[in-house]
Amino acid sequence: MEKELHEQYEYARRRIKQKKRLYFHFVLFVLGSLLLFIANKFFEIAVDSNWSIWVITIWLFLFILHFIKIFITDRFMNKNWEREQIDRLVALQQKKLDQLQTQVNNDELK
């Protein structure tokens, strides 16, 4: 039981760390986007193009990927999911081995 509590604690600690990094990424994205926009518009750095919009769009895409990884992918494909998949595959292999053993025993009887 203590091992399960430790695993739950470690899982919670990792999830909190992931979410903390995501929130930091969001704040960095907002401040960085604001800085890029100001640099492009007010400081007239490469005024003829909207390079800041392209950089912000790419950065937003990367942030969305980070968000999906934290709140969708990691939520469903955690250690419990891995354990269930391993148990399912081991059960399938055991079932096949049992079927083969049954066939061998039947062939020996004939």
Measure CA 39 to chain center: 33
The CA distance from 72 to 76, in Å, is: 7
The answer to whether the pTM exceeds 0.85 is no
pLDDT digits (tens, 9 = 90+) for 59-109: 999 999 999 999 888 877 777 788 888 989 999 999 999 999 998 888 887
* pLDDT given for residue 47 in this prediction: 63
pLDDT digits (tens, 9 = 90+) for 39-71: 888 877 666 778 888 999 999 999 999 999 998
CA angle 55/28/26 to nearest 5° reads: 95
pLDDT band at 31 (very low <50, low <70, confident <90, very high): very high
Query: How do the domains of the chain map onto residue ranges?
Result: 1-77, 78-110
